[in-house]
Every structure is written in structure tokens, then in C-alpha cells.
Amino acid sequence: MMLQWRIFHTLCSAGREAPKSLKAGLLFPHVLSCGHRFVWHRTKTSLPDSRERTLIAVKPDGVQRRLVGQIIQRFEQRGFRLVGLKMLQASEDLLSEHYCQLRSKPFFPILLQYMTSGPVVAMVWEGHNVVKTSRTMVGHTNPAEAQAGTVRGDFSTHVSRNVVHASDSVEGAQREIHLWFQAKDLLDWDSWDQMSTSDVTTSSAS
Ligand code: UDP
Ligand code: MG
């Protein structure tokens, strides 16, 4: 299935039509739009729960304050798998697409200024319920309301310098990962402790 998806994805990114047989074998990838741009995504059901992925990015203030290591440690310690990592100076175009739902907000220009003020460390983390769990780990958008113990609750005081980004839904994560990473830069690997940390066999698990 993973190989099938990769071939499909490569053809779509190259703007080519995928063969019908390949399309039929995939579990209904759907399209999410943001502004003028349309992106193909896997549905949540096309991947096992333990393969759920999210985009986490240490923002320029977090990098400047040398918090990258501590943030990575929290996700490793929780039991998630790092499947992609890069440091980059993000462009306005990328950020404008990333934050497309916020374009009409008064703080949008300042947000772009902040996010382009220095390097960002972008990561893809994988694991059971990683999207929801990482939002909890990162904490409320406004650090004043973020619980102690969360990244924002421990390291920030102002909404405009809140250290870290975490995708807010499975579909949003797929859109963001596709924006920040090429499929070839994400690794599929099995951690040795997977059976004891995340492989849940009961049907009621969520
Ligand atoms: N932001 C801001 N002022 C606000 C609200 C948000 O500067 O009043 C910034 C902040 O950096 C936040 C980002 O915009 O993390 C994206 O906002 P969103 O509502 O998506 O919050 P998040 O998903 O990051 O918690
Ligand atoms: Mg958000």
C-alpha cells in the first residue's frame, strides 16, 4: 500500500495522470483546498493508526533560544517516531500557504515577519494519535492559557512568540507535511519498542 501511494503521489506531484488500476487500489485520497492550491491527501483510513503523522516545527524564537533539543526530547520520550527533520529558512510563500486560513487576520503580516525572522526546524513525527497528543503537549496557542508542562506553558509568555507549531488535525497535518517535505525525505521505519508503546490491537482504542 505504501509503495502504491508513493507511485501515485509522485505522478500527482509531477502533474501526471495516475493509472486507473493504481487509483482503484487506493483508499479514496481526497482533496483539500487552501486558496487557489489543491493538494492530494491520503485519508486517515489509508494508514494504520500507529502511522498517523503530524508536522511539528520549532519556530525562529525556539531555535534562537536553543530549545530544539528539549522539544525533540519531549516527543521521543513520549514514544513517537521521528520520520523527517530539516532546518530551513522558510519563505514567505511557504508560510503564506502554511497559514492560509489566517490570511485575513490582522496579525498575519506580523506572523509572517516572525516566522521568516530566522531558521525553523521542521519535523514529522509519527505514532498513535500523534496529532491530538502533540497539540496537548504543545499547549494552548496563547501561552497565558497554556498549562505548565506543555512546551508553550513552559517556554513562552506571548502568543506572538510561542516557540512551536503543531498541526491541528489529521487532514491539516497531511496538507502541511506535503508543503514542507517531499515524500522521499520521510522515512518509514519501525521502532523496536513499538509493540510496547503503540501497537494497540483492541478495536475500541482511539
Ligand atoms: N498568532 C498570533 N496572534 C494571535 C493568534 C495567533 O501571533 O492572536 C500566531 C501564533 O504564532 C500562532 C499562529 O499565529 O501559533 C497560528 O495561529 P493558530 O490559531 O493556528 O494557533 P496554533 O495552531 O499555532 O496554536
Ligand atoms: Mg494552527
- DSSP states of 131-146 as a string? HHHHHHHH--SSGGGS
Sign for the CA dihedral angle at 94, 88, 11, 176 comes to negative
The pTM (predicted TM-score) of the whole model is 0.81
Q: Output the pLDDT for position 28.
A: 35
The mean pLDDT value for 57-73 works out to: 98
Q: Output the pLDDT for position 57.
A: 99
* Interval between CA 141 and ligand 1 midpoint (Å): 6
pLDDT per position as a tens digit, 89-104: 999 999 999 999 999 9
Sign for the CA dihedral angle at 110, 115, 9, 192 comes to negative
Q: Output the pLDDT for position 206.
A: 55
Q: Is 178 annotated as catalytic?
A: no
Nearest-CA residue for ligand 1 atom 18 is 141
What is the residue-averaged pLDDT of the chain?
83
Residues in CB range of 83: below 8 A, 6 or more apart: 53, 124, 125, 126, 186, 187, 188, 189
Which ligand 1 atom sits closest to the C-alpha of 110? 7
Distance CA 79, CA 81 (A): 7
Q: What is the residue whose three cell numbers read 520520550? A: 77
* Interval between CA 66 and ligand 2 midpoint (Å): 23
The mean pLDDT value for 110-121 works out to: 98
Q: How many CB atoms sit inside 10 A of residue 19's CB?
A: 12
Confidence of residue 52 (pLDDT cuts 50, 70, 90): very high
